[in-house]
C-alpha cells in the first residue's frame, strides 16, 4: 500500500468513516453532555479502571482525545447514527496509557457505548471499521485490546472481531489483572481451502 504521507512517513487515520449504520467522526461541542452522561453511568464504567468520571474529568478526557488525534493522527472517534441523533459512544485506535512496554508499543482498539446503545451491534460494527483503518491507512500488523476478564460484553465484541487472548497485564491503580487480546492483519493472499468436487486431485490455488 502507498504511504499516504511520503514526506513525513506519518500515517493518519481518516477523520470520518461511514459504516452501514454509523458515522465515526471527530468530537463536537454538542457531545459534551451525552459523553459526560455515559461516563457517569456506573453500569457503563463497571470494568473501566477509572470508575465513573465526574463531569470535569469527562471534559478533560474529551480534550485529551482531541489532542491524540492532533499528535498521533489517530484516536477515538465519536459515534453517531448515520440517520442522525445524539452521540452513541466512541470507538477507535489509541495508545494504551498503561500496561508495560510491550503493551504500550501497540495500538489498542477500544469501544464504549451509552447504555441505551447496547444490544444493536454498534460496537462490533464500529470496531470492524476501526480495524480496517488499522490494516489499511495505518498499515499496522496487529492491534490489541485490554479487557477485564469479567467484562463479558466487551469480550464478546473482541471474539466477534476474531481477537484472541495472548496474555495478561496489570492495571496499576486498581491492581486488576486484565486480559490482553490481539487481532492480526488478515493475510489478503491467503486462499481458503477449496474442496475438489471430484475428490481425487488436491485443491490448487488459482
Q: Which residues are at the interface with ligand COA (CB under 6 A)?
A: 44, 47-48, 111-113, 118-124, 147, 151, 153-154, 157
Angle at CA of residue 72, ends 68 and 75, nearest 5°: 50
Cβ-contact 114, 37 below 8 angstroms: yes
Residue with Cβ nearer ligand COA (12 or 41) = 41
Question: Least Å distance between CB 2 and ligand COA?
Answer: 32
Residue 192 to residues 141, 160, 188, 195, 204, Cα–Cα distance (Å) = 20, 19, 10, 10, 11
**Least distance from C-beta 51 to ligand COA, angstroms?**
12
- d(CA 50, CA 116) in angstroms, rounded, equals 21
Please state, in angstroms and as integers, the Cα–Cα distance from residue 11 to each residue in 96, 128, 138, following that order: 18, 19, 5
The residue of the chain with the least Cβ separation from ligand COA equals 121
| Closest approach of ligand COA to the CB of residue 117, in Å | 7
| Least distance (Å) between residue 195 CB and ligand COA | 30
Considering the complex, state which of residue 74 and residue 108 has its C-beta at the smaller distance from ligand COA.
108
If the CB atoms of residues 14 and 121 are measured against ligand COA, the closer one turns out to be 121
DSSP state at residue 17: E
Tell me whether residue 11 or residue 114 sits nearer to ligand COA (CB atom). 114
Amino acid at each position: 500500500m502507498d504511504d499516504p504521507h511520503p514526506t513525513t512517513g506519518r500515517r493518519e487515520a481518516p477523520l470520518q468513516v461511514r459504516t452501514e449504520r454509523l458515522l465515526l467522526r471527530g468530537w463536537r461541542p454538542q457531545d459534551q453532555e451525552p459523553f459526560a452522561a455515559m461516563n457517569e453511568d456506573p453500569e457503563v464504567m463497571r470494568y473501566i479502571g477509572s470508575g465513573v468520571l465526574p463531569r470535569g474529568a469527562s471534559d478533560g478526557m474529551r480534550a485529551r482525545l482531541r489532542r491524540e488525534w492532533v499528535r498521533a493522527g489517530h484516536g477515538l472517534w465519536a459515534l453517531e447514527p448515520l440517520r442522525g441523533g445524539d452521540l452513541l459512544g466512541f470507538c477507535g485506535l489509541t495508545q494504551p496509557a498503561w500496561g508495560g512496554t510491550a503493551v504500550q508499543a501497540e495500538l489498542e482498539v477500544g469501544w464504549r457505548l451509552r447504555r441505551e446503545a447496547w444490544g444493536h451491534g454498534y460496537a462490533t460494527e464500529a470496531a470492524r471499521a476501526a480495524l480496517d483503518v488499522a490494516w489499511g491507512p495505518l498499515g499496522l500488523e496487529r492491534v490489541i485490546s485490554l479487557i477485564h476478564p469479567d467484562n463479558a460484553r466487551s469480550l464478546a465484541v473482541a471474539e466477534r472481531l476474531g481477537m484472541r487472548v495472548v496474555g495478561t497485564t496489570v492495571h496499576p491503580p486498581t491492581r486488576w489483572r486484565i486480559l490482553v487480546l490481539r487481532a492480526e492483519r488478515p493475510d489478503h493472499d491467503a486462499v481458503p481451502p477449496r474442496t475438489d468436487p471430484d475428490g481425487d486431485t488436491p485443491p490448487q490455488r488459482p
